[in-house]
Amino acid sequence: MPYLDNTMIIRRRLVRKVVQRFFEGCLVETIDRIPLEMSPREKGPERRCCIYKERAVTRYKLMPILGLGVDEETDELTPLSVYAQKALDREKPSGKILTVVDEACTSCVKANYVVTNLCRGCVASPCIMNCPVNAIRFNKTGAAEIKSETCINCGKCKEACPYHSIVYMPIPCEEVCPVGAISKDERGIEQIDEEKCIFCGRCLNACPFGSVFEVSHLMDVLKAIQQKKKVVAMVAPALLAQYDCHPGQVFEAIKKIGFSEVIEVAKGAEITVAKETEELKERLHKGAPFMTTSCCPAYVELSRKKLTEIAPFVSETRSPMHYTAELARRESPDAVLVFIGPCVAKRKEGIDDEFVDFVLSFEELDTIFEGLNISVKDFEATGLQNFSRYARGFARSGGVIAAVKNEDLQMDIQTLAINGLNKKSIGLLKAFAKGKGSAQFVEVMACEGGCIAGPVRRVNPVKGAVNFEKAMEILST
């Protein structure tokens, strides 16, 4: 697990229950009992709300696991079994990427500043005197109180208070979004604007109530396996960071699920490196001041939607996933191609890619293992293809720069690795677009640490980095 977080534990439990019922052949018949199993009557007083609210939350959290956006066609009077049957009958998955489970969303307060019980009701009243919109008053107990409907969140009251009794209360999902794509609707429920969203996935793990979900392709993949189709797993290099064992053992475990073949996306990374190196040389020879990478789909979305001034400098080379899928499609025209990785934005890229059929996350893969009682360490390690260390190194920040430098560039260049997208790094990219940068080749990763720190990974980035180094050593011997 990335962190000790109960929302992630609940999410995995729900996926596991769906997987178990699918393979037992009783998903439709028994899915309506899952909310009762998650919130039984004998659970006790530790429940946050009434049993019926808890069950309703569970019901709606199952919708995106079935591949349905909560706001798409849901009706609280329709049994889950009906939606499960729809998931099994559909020809292709929803094009939606993220959804908010409104029953789980607690409608965080509109005002980010709150007066605590440390307030002394002082005569000076600097909080009231410095509020530009008269949003603070004294209540009946003599303490200051902020009117949330008037507050503009300027923070001047917090700065003025001599007792530090006013605190900043963030709205977690909004706080972590680097592009302002998530905000409240008229009911106070968070909504994701996909016209702005770059699918970095930070809101997914930031919400303490687990109300943000990916709209999964799980049912589509499991159905293809059950139908005995040739289903090919294309695994991102970051898979090497997810387990503390030989990567060949993980590949064998994936085959045990029912995948016909497992391909490393490092195969496509070698093509990306060669093409990107040639593109960089060509652009610089033509007088371009710099070029940025294009393998991080969240960054590509940023360049298309918000940071449009950087778009002309983004490499036109496709991602390793694309080239891997192109090769796999050429070899097996009728196969079902499934990319497996740690990235929400890859789901968007996969939907848009002409060769990719479905996308699964590392978290989903690991939960499938759990649902089928598969332990990766129970398998004999198989030999893997011999890819360069640089191709597999795409998984971490700085990996693309290292790979391009390893090619025959025939020129000296300055490089820069932007390790994580935030306000500061976006500002830096804006400066580059205005001609104020010094590097000729800029690698951009949305996640700090690179893909091994993706939002739907299995382990936390520190452990993942250790696992990755071990795996790289094993594969280089």
- Gap between the Cα atoms of 175 and 221, Å rounded: 34
Please give the domain boundaries of the chain with CATH numbers for all domains: 6-106+175-216 (no CATH), 113-170 (3.30.70.20), 228-476 (3.40.50)
**b/e for 211-236, b at 16 or more Cβ within 10 A?**
bbbbbbbbbbbbbbbeeeeebbbbbb
CB neighbour class for 462 (10 Å; exposed up to 12, middle 13-18, buried from 19): exposed
Tokens 């789980």, located at residue: 104
Q: Are 212 and 329 in contact (CB under 8 A)?
A: no
**pLDDT per residue rounded down to tens, the chain (477 residues):** 345 578 889 999 999 999 999 999 999 999 999 999 998 887 655 556 788 889 999 999 999 999 998 875 667 789 999 999 999 999 988 889 999 998 888 777 776 899 999 999 999 999 999 999 999 999 988 999 999 889 999 999 999 999 999 999 889 999 999 999 999 888 888 999 999 999 999 999 999 999 999 999 999 999 999 999 999 999 999 999 999 999 999 999 999 999 999 999 999 999 999 999 999 999 999 999 999 999 999 999 999 999 999 999 999 999 999 999 999 999 999 999 999 999 999 999 999 999 999 999 999 999 999 999 999 999 999 888 899 999 999 999 999 999 999 988 888 899 999 999 999 999 999 999 999 999 999 999 999 999 999 999 999 999 999 999 999 999 987
Tens of pLDDT, residue by residue over 130-140, are 999 999 999 98
Q: Are 197 and 76 in contact (CB under 8 A)?
A: no
Write down the pTM of the prediction: 0.92
pLDDT value at residue 1: 39
- Show the tokens assigned to 233: 């797993």
- Show the tokens assigned to 292: 């940025």
- Show the tokens assigned to 316: 């036109």
pLDDT value at residue 108: 79
Plot region of 450 (φ>0 → left; ψ -120 to 50 → alpha; else → beta): left
Neighbours of 327 (CB within 10 A): 16
Torsion of CA 346, 350, 353, 355, to 10 degrees: 130
Tens of pLDDT, residue by residue over 244-259, are 999 999 999 999 999 9
CB neighbour class for 94 (10 Å; exposed up to 12, middle 13-18, buried from 19): buried
**b/e for 287-299, b at 16 or more Cβ within 10 A?**
eeebbbbbbbbbb
- Gap between the Cα atoms of 157 and 159, Å rounded: 5
pLDDT value at residue 2: 45
At a CB cut-off of 8 Å and minimum separation 6, what does 47 contact?
A: 39, 54
- Secondary structure string (H, E, C) spanning the chain: CCCCCHHHHHHHHHHHHHHHHHHHCCHHHHHHHHHHHHCCHHHCCCCCCCHHHHHHHHHHHHHHHCCCCCCCCCCCCCCHHHHHHHHHHCCCCCCCCEEECCCCCCCCCCCCEEECCCCCCCCCCHHHHHCCCCCEEECCCCCEEECCCCCCCCCHHHHHCCCCCEEECCCHHHHHCCCCCEEECCCCCEEECCCCCCCCCHHHHHCCCCCEEECCCHHHHHHHHHCCCCEEEEECHHHHHCCCCCHHHHHHHHHHHCCCEEEECHHHHHHHHHHHHHHHHHHHHCCCCCEECCCCHHHHHHHHHCCHHHHHHECCCCCHHHHHHHHHHHHCCCCEEEEEECCCHHHHHHHHCCCCCEEEEHHHHHHHHHHCCCCHHHCCCCCCCCCCHHHHHHHCCCHHHHHHHHCCCCCCCCEEEEECCCHHHHHHHHHHHCCCCCCCEEEEECCCCCHHHCCCCCCCHHHHHHHHHHHHHHHHC
Q: Determine how β-strand 231-235 pairs with β-strand 336-341.
A: parallel
Angle 165-202-433 (CA atoms, 0-180°, nearest 5)? 100
pLDDT value at residue 41: 82
Tokens 């159905």, located at residue: 223
- Gap between the Cα atoms of 24 and 175, Å rounded: 42
**Among 174, 177, 176, which residue's Cα sits nearest to residue 190?**
174
- According to DSSP, the residues that pair with 256 across neighbouring strands are none
- Gap between the Cα atoms of 349 and 201, Å rounded: 14
Query: CA separation (Å) from 463 to 1, 132, 330, 334, 368?
Result: 10, 47, 37, 38, 21
